[in-house]
Structure 1
Amino acid sequence: MALINLRNLAVTLGAPLFSNLNLSIEAGDRLGIVAANGRGKSTLLRCISGSFEPTAGDITRSRGLHIGHVEQDVPARLLDVPFYAAVQEVLSPEQAHSESWRVDVVLDSLDVPEAMREKPLAQLSGGWQRLAMLARVWVTDPDALLLDEPTNHLDLARIRQLEDWLNALPRDVPVIISSHDRAFLDATTNRTLFLRAERSQVFSLPYSRARAALDEVDASEERRYQKDMKVAQQLRRQAAKLNNIGINSGSDLLTVKTKQLKQRAERMEDAARPGYQERSSGAIKLANRGTHVKILITLDDASVETPDSTLLFKTGRKWLCQGDRVVLLGRNGAGKSRLVNLIRKAITEPTASVETVKATPSLVLGYGDQGLSDLADDDTPLATLSRRFEVGDQRARTLLAGAGLTVEMQASAIGRLSGGQKARLAMLVLRLTNPNFYLLDEPTNHLDIDGQEALETELMAHEASCLLVSHDRSFVRAVGNRFWLIEKRRLVEVESPEEFFATVVETDG
């Protein structure tokens, strides 16, 4: 018996987000929701939770069903509240007095260290703040759990821990997950909803297998579409011929027949429009100006240290060569970002960098960090391009439109853009820089799955040389051709990231 039923559900906010959506959620369901940035995933979760009213359609829930909804953002009022108290406050006064053990049980299940439980949320990383929001919901013992982008800000160890936690939940509690993390969806779901403005598709399969099934459906739709369009074109040609004959003969019957044929063609064209042809979130394209130099970066047993000169690790003798796509692996706090900064400084400030990190002088750097710090919140996309690059106003507007930024967005403050829109703007800036070496720290943060796949394709199609840091296992597997692991205070090369992925919970927990 379904716990939650959606019938002909639709939401329109300026443009249709989704329509005619029919879906049932039953005990044991682990449903992944997949869609492009801004296409209604969060809105659908709010509809299911009852906090947002759909434009059309109905939602029925089993009597007395308690739905727990973990949203993306931490309420501002909670930032000064300690972790433990933030979870405890959702209990009733009676429960807080006599059943505070509930909080301890949930925090223990999420492996929250004792020392962290008394720290205000504002002092914690984004990942721990996300887990605090999850704990606040789970401590209320919900009958169904909704998670909106649960892996945002989590490092790989916390992602693996969250996977294990979800897979250990009672099977009668359905879980609905909105996520762009393909590996996470594969590990935690058994059904997949591809949310679309029209003709959303549901498969009783985890993401990767569901995506293959969707591609088959879309290919079949494309074949049907092409066939129907040919028939419509033939009808239009016949209508044109009859129209000419009717004009010359003055036949009212042929005029009526011409109109009927045109109407048939129009109906067929409208019905044939494939549902998978969605509005693009914006293109991602990169560039590679190339270089004739073989060795791009040389590490001569460089020391990577904390600000107080504590040694994190030594690199040994390493070379990064043209065509290398090196993925830097290591537990949280091992020093990945510090090595990235050393290499960045060697390229941009060679006279001020350490002797043990050398970059060839012909390198032109394309750098992107996970915080998108290269983009000023009070700047506008149009001003950013016009100031940094020799492009005219019209060219800049065309480029921004291609990246998914409307005319209104182009003149708005960057700080008002969504994470996905900022990420696509950052990728456009990288492209216009026309680098021959990319240094990317968590480049898939904020990108939807289409954007992640486009970035993967661009890096490989341009044979880009790069050093990458990423917690996105699917991205790492698709892009990396060399892997450097920070282990026991040394930087070692490994053949594959899989052993690190398999053991990261133990090494980081």
Structure 2
Amino acid sequence: MTLLSVQDLSLTRAETLFSGLTFTLARGDRLGLVAANGRGKTSLLSLIAGEDEPTSGTITRARGCLIARVPQDPPAEIMDQPLAEAIRSGLDPETAELEFWRADIVMDDLAIPEDLRATPVRALSGGWQRFVLLGRALIAEPDVLLLDEPTNHLDLARIGQVQRLLAGLPQGMAVIAASHDRAFLDAVTSSTLFLRPARSAAFALPYSRARAALDERDAADDRAFEAEMKKARQLRAQAAKLKNIGINSGSDLLVTKTKQLKDRAERIKEGARPAHQERSSGAIRLTNSGTHAKALLAIEETDIEVPGRVLFRVPRLWVERGDRVALLGPNGAGKSRLMGRVAAALAGGEDPAIRPAATLRPGLSDQALAQLDAFRTPWEAVTTGFDHGDARARAMLSRAGLPPDRQTDPMGRLSGGQKARVALLRLRLQQPNFYLLDEPTNHIDIEGQEALELEMLEHGATALFVSHDRAFVRAVASRVWSIEGKRLVEVEDPDPVFDRLMEG
């Protein structure tokens, strides 16, 4: 049974986000929605939920079809509500009064601890706020569940929990998940829609296989475009030759034939479509500035601890030039403690167990992008402390996804993806030879993630990083450190670690 039919849908804001979009959603479908930051994913979900109107086209919903959307951020009206009440607000008032117990079932399904259920939403972590939004949607038992970046702010244990929750939904419930988490999309979707300004592409395949099919289609489009352009060039060349012959011979027939060839060449040129070039939110580049030291960071045997308790023991370890070390472990195991000690030592603090090389130049980025707090605008962030000229600064910010009219906007107006790109741009301008990165792919779209991976690999960047992005770790890490029990150990393969972490 078809729950949703989208026909020739278009949406234009400052520019066209998508046009001519047509697809259907049936009971039980699991659709992944993929696009660069700012290219219309959230807008499409809002249209489907009936919260906005398209520029043109239609969305037809089955009679009685109930749609629930899980937004990226909690709405203002629930921020001061206790967690349980916020989830209960997903029901209409009459149902909530009669069937208040449904909130308890949903909170149990989400494994929300009893001691959190009276906590105001405002006081919860980003991860728990995400679960409140999910519970608020699920309590209504919708026919269609719309998820907008559902893994944002979640560690691997909670991502695993969400994956299991989606797998256990009623068989007929359809799901559309907009996400930049490639491993999550592969795990929970069976079809993929790549949203584009024109000629959006849909495949009855999960993300990775759909992406391969899309790349093949784009390559074929590119070959066809080049063939059409070559044909048009040949016709114009023939027209030029005939024109000269016609002028010299005075033949009206040749002049007419020349015009026909030129007109045909123009029609071919106008009808040819270049292959789609994804306009991600900006290029990301990291370099690895030169150093003669082989071991950039040495760690002696030490304990990572909180007052009164040892979290885990670190054996003697080192990071050599070109190593890209992923630090994995469950939430609360002490990853941030270790990263904090390394950061303090890189900043010149005394730590007898952590010794940076004399030639090490650090580049640090934390989850909260605190390195941007000192700057009012993106322009300040890339010009303060650097002497590269206004023209180059404008060009760099444009390549990072910020056009000139946004470069002096207050930082607070930027999206998470834009802030992440500005932070990574400033990091690169500092020309470090060692990167300490905490969740570097947060808020960055898939094109941006792939660009960052390519840069780190091609330039041989040296890094110690924490990430819950399984695809990123698999692509980038040359070494993996895992917190297991009370010890930090080096492992060959991150996948068994991921499996354990996602089991919770």
TM range (shorter): over 0.9
Distance 1:17 1:484 in 2: 42
Tell me the residue number matched to 2:311.
312
Q: Following the alignment from structure 1 to structure 2, what is the Cα–Cα distance between the partners of residues 56 and 97?
A: 40
Q: Cα offset for 1:183?
A: 0.4
Q: Distance in 2 between matches of 1:299 and 1:181?
A: 32
> Taking structure 1 as reference, are residues 250 and 82 closer, same or farther at Cα in structure 2, changes over 3 Å only?
farther
Give the distance between the partners of 1:46 and 1:310, measured in 2 at CA: 48
Task: Measure how far apart 1:77 and its partner are.
Answer: 2.6
Change (3 A) 1:248 1:428: farther
> 1:243 deviation in Å?
4.1
- Larger mean CA deviation between 446-455 and 265-274 belongs to 265-274
Equivalent-residue separation in structure 2 for 1:185 and 1:322 (angstroms): 34
Match of 2:78 in 1: 78
Q: Which residue of 2 aligns with 1:17?
A: 17
For the pair 1:437 / 2:434, whether they are aligned, the reply is yes
1:332 aligns with 2:334: no
Q: Which amino acid aligns with 2:377?
A: T
Change (3 A) 1:377 1:174: farther
**Alignment correspondent of 1:268:** 268
* Residue 325 to residue 378, structure 1, CA distance change in 2 (3 Å): closer
Corresponding position: 1:154 with 2:154:
yes
1:89 Cα deviation after fit: 2.5
CA–CA separation in structure 2 for the residues paired with 1:377 and 1:254: 71
Aligned-partner residue type, residue 480 of structure 2: F
- 1:472 corresponds in structure 2 to 469
Aligned mate of 1:425, from 415, 422, 426: 422
Once the two structures are superposed, residues 93-127 of structure 1 have per-residue CA deviations (whole angstroms, 9 ceiling, x without a partner) of 33223311111111111111111111111111101
Letter in 1 for 2:127: G
Q: CA 1:63–1:377 in 2, change beyond 3 Å: closer, same or farther?
A: farther
Q: In the TM superposition, what whole-angstrom CA distance separates every residue of 1:243-298 from its partner, at most 9, and x where no partner exists?
A: 44556667666555444433332332232223422334221111111212111111
- Judge conservation of contact 1:315–1:491 (CA < 8 Å) in 2: yes
SS of the aligned residue for 1:52 comes to coil
Count of residue correspondences: 504
Q: Which moved further from structure 2: 438-447 or 486-495?
A: 486-495
1:341 matches 2:340? yes
The percent of aligned pairs where both chains have the same amino acid is: 55
- Paired AA for residue 355 in structure 1: P
Segment of structure 1 superposing worse, 275-284 or 328-337: 275-284
Superposed, which structure 2 residues align to 1:55-454 within 5 Å? 55-245=55-245, 257-306=257-306, 308=307, 310-349=309-348, 352-376=349-373, 379-454=376-451
Look up the SS of the partner of 1:484 in the other structure.
strand
| Matching of residue 455 in structure 1 with residue 452 in structure 2 | yes
Distance 1:98 1:296, change over 3 A: same
Cα distance in 2 for residues equivalent to 1:468 and 1:66: 42
What is the aligned partner in structure 2 of residue 35 from structure 1?
A: 35
Residues 298, 319 of structure 2: 8 Å contact kept: yes
Farther-moved stretch of structure 1 (182-191 vs 61-70): 61-70
Q: Which runs of 5+ in 1 are unaligned?
A: none
Distance 1:250-1:371 versus aligned 2 partners, 3 A rule: farther
Aligned-partner Cα distance in 2 for 1:467–1:70? 33
Return the offset for 1:232: 1.2
Per the alignment, residue 7 of structure 2 pairs with 7
> Is the CA contact 2:375–2:381 (under 8 Å) kept in the aligned structure 1?
no
In structure 2, C-alpha distance between the alignment counterparts of 1:410 and 1:248, rounded to whole Å? 58
Take 2:235 and 2:410, find their aligned partners in 1: how far apart are those partners?
A: 50
Q: Which moved more, 1:215-224 or 1:261-270?
A: 261-270
Per-residue deviation, residues 199-233 of structure 1 (Å, max 9, x unmatched):
11111010011111111111111111111110011
Cα deviations by residue, 1:146-187 (Å, 9 ceiling, x for unpaired) = 111110111111001000000111121110000000000000
| Counterpart code for 1:183 | A
- The alpha-carbon deviation at position 373 of structure 1 amounts to 1.3
CA distance in 2, matches of 1:344, 1:299: 13
In the TM superposition, residue 236 of structure 1 has moved relative to its aligned partner by 2.1
Deviation at 1:423, TM superposition (A): 1.6
Superposed CA deviations along residues 46-100 of structure 1, whole A, max 9, x for unmatched, are: 1111111111111111111111111111112322111001111232333223311
What letter matches 2:169 in structure 1? L
Alignment CA distance shift 1:57-1:260 (3 Å): farther
1:241 Cα deviation from its structure 2 partner:
3.1
Could you tell me which residue of structure 2 aligns to residue 502 of structure 1?
Answer: 499
Matched residues in 2 for 1:46 and 1:263: separation? 44
- Structure 1 residues 439, 311: CA separation in 2 closer, same or farther (over 3 Å shift)? same
C-alpha change, 1:122 and 1:280, in structure 2 (3 Å) is closer
State the Cα deviation string for residues 391-438 of structure 1 (Å, max 9, x = none).
111111111112221010112122211112222222211221111111
Are the equivalent residues in 1 in contact too, given 2:280–2:448 (CA < 8 A)?
Answer: no
Partner Cα distance (1:319, 1:271) in 2? 58
For 1:420, the aligned partner's letter is G
Partners of 1:261 and 1:82 lie apart in 2 by 73
Q: Does 269-278 or 216-225 show the bigger shift? A: 269-278
TM-score by length of 2: 0.96
Paired residues of 2:328 and 2:482 also in contact (CA < 8 A): yes
Structure 2, unpaired ranges of 5+: none
Query: 2:36, 2:279 within 8 Å by CA — same for their partners in 1?
Result: no
Contact 1:377–1:414 (CA under 8 A) maintained in structure 2? no
User: Residue 118 of structure 1 aligns to a residue in which SS?
Assistant: coil
